[in-house]
Structure 1
Amino acid sequence: MARDHTPPRHRARAVAATVAALTLGGASLAALPASAASPPQGHDVSSHQKSVNWAGARAKGAEFVYVKATESTNYRNPYFAQQYDGARSAGLIRGAYHFAAPDKSWGTTQAAFFVRNGGAWRADGWTLPPALDIEYNPYDKKHKCYGLSKAKMVDWIKAFSDEIKRETGRRPVIYTTTHWWNTCTGGSDAFAADHALWIARHESADTGALPAGWSFWTFWQYDNSGSLPGDQNLYNGSQDQLKQFARGS
């Protein structure tokens, strides 16, 4: 996504077994229209998608969306209001995400900037918890972990999470890849108990191994294009469970 909580375990386990193969009638979900899948289908968008046709996305089966709000402490998505409010008006459950830049400022600072610029949360059943997008540095391949040691990266994520919890009452969803997590945090299992996992693994029949500590995923970004604007996602549960997750129950 750089290009521009956790529900109780019993909620996800029943669905995880049926979704793990990610095939329906022998076809991969990536090749199917959103309406063909039983788990709630969603997507995520950023300024790349500009003014989204939300009624069209809803008609194609979108039930939820994450919208990029901020990056570091100096970027705000100029299309955020149209995307975030437009999604809600079209009947989608929506949330905001922040793209982490751990080399620019501390996690507490970035979390506070995020909350001030769209990363808030309320228990209305329509607002997903704030999400942290943390992945390889897209701007400096020589410092793909942003120049932080594994221990310092864990501390950065903890600082971000603690500030989000202090300001919103929710722990952030963590968007990442297993490879990044193992490489840049050393496979830390410090977050799995109380942070929902949004795993990214594209064009694959399943999510593969999850980062340390997590036994299930809450969201899966399974492709970077498809029938919905932006990246394609699934929620690991039913529509009712998605609404409960949004409410914080």
Structure 2
Amino acid sequence: MDSTRWRSTHALALSAIAVGGILTATMPGTATAAPSGPDVSSWQHLDGRFIDWFAVRRSGHDFAMVKATEGLNYVNPYFIQDSLLMRAAGVARGTYHYAQPSLPPQSQAALYAATVLGQNGPLDLPPVLDMENAGGLDPARLINWTRRYLETIELLTGRTPIIYTNPNFWKTAMANTDEFVHYPLWIADYRGNDQPEVPGGWPTWTFWQTTDRGKVPGIAGGTDVNVYSGAQGDFARYAHISGLLGSS
């Protein structure tokens, strides 16, 4: 998700097969491309430039995930700017916290919750925990850390959080635990397959980060691109939208 995120040795641009293969029925007898969107951090603000969220929306993207916080002392300096402009453009907003498990989970959850100021308004997707750093913890302690963070953020925001990870991290650092299958999964898998690898006993994925080298109008340079599977039901309801995304 940023310069520290996992990079697959087989990272590929989003293939036409993957795009065409992920369809969701949104109206009787009608199938349209699944809701899609980038995820961004300060790295997408090259030279301090704004992201043109209106261009992002015009290009067909329904949502975006924005890095809010990391650890105990980092707040994305562009978070408020992006949040306001996304809402103005009608782009549904997801926000994420990059976990630093060497630091207390409850305090990190409190920083995140205070920064995002709620995830229950119009155009808000649930909160996300970005799990790709073990912080020196063994699997048992990392699983415990994750449980405590998720329970705290659910209490603070009132929504069931999403877990972001990649198959290799989950199978090794998290010992491929199936303890968290009741949380929606956002999986990073850049191999260009029709479907991503789903670890940890999850029956399916909710969001799939298909590439970290996407090109999205309105965003300078490369960016991650994601799709929504429909696993949590109608996207408009999941993102607290009322008729803003058309047939999405």
Work out whether 1:131 is the aligned partner of 2:121.
no
Are 1:233 and 2:226 matched, yes or no?
yes
Matched, 1:40 2:35: yes
Please say if residues 221 and 232 of structure 1, whose CA atoms lie closer than 8 Å, have aligned partners that are also in contact. yes
Cα deviation for residue 227 of structure 1 reads 2.9
Q: Which amino acid aligns with 1:114?
A: Y
Stretch of structure 1 that moved more, 105-114 or 232-241: 232-241
Instruction: Give the share of equivalent positions with the same residue, in percent.
Output: 38
Measured after TM superposition, the shift of residue 214 of structure 1 is 0.6
* 1:96 match: secondary structure: strand
Structure 1 unaligned residues grouped into runs of 5+: 5-21, 31-36, 138-144
| 1:125 Cα offset (Å) | 4.1
| Distance apart, 1:211 and its partner CA | 1.5
Q: CA deviation at 1:43?
A: 1.0
**SS state of the match for residue 185, structure 1?**
coil
3-state SS, counterpart of residue 192 of structure 1: coil
Residue type of the alignment partner of 2:205 = W
Q: Is residue 18–residue 194 contact of structure 2 (8 Å, CA) maintained in 1?
A: no
Please give the TM-score of this superposition, normalised by the length of structure 2: 0.79
2:235 maps to what in 1? 242
Of 48-57 and 238-247, more deviation after overlay is shown by 238-247
What is the number of equivalent residue pairs in this alignment? 213
The SS at the match of 1:86 is: helix
Residue by residue over 1:73-112, the C-alpha shift from the partner in whole angstroms, topping out at 9 and shown as x without a partner, is 1100001111111111101111211101111x11111111
Distance across 2 between alignment mates of 1:170 and 1:57: 26
Gap change, CA 1:227 and 1:60, over 3 Å in 2: farther
Q: Compared with structure 1, are the counterparts of its residues 119 and 160 closer, same or farther at alpha carbon in structure 2 (3 Å cutoff)?
A: farther
- Equivalent in the alignment of 1:179: 168
Q: Which moved more, 1:111-120 or 1:168-177?
A: 111-120
How far did residue 212 of structure 1 move?
1.4
Q: Is the 8 A contact 1:199 1:207 kept in 2?
A: no
CA distance in 2: counterparts of 1:240 and 1:196, whole angstroms? 12
> Is residue 79 of structure 1 aligned with residue 78 of structure 2?
yes
Alignment of 1:72-221 (within 5 A): 72-103=71-102, 105-118=103-116, 120-122=118-120, 124-135=121-132, 137=133, 145-193=134-182, 195-221=183-209
How far is 1:180 from its partner? Answer: 0.4
- Show structure 1 runs of 4+ deviating over 4 A: none
Q: 1:238/1:87 Cα in 2 relative to 1: closer, same or farther (>3 Å)?
A: farther
Instruction: State the one-letter code of the partner of 2:199.
Output: P
CA distance change for structure 1 residues 128 and 210 in 2, over 3 Å: closer, same or farther? same
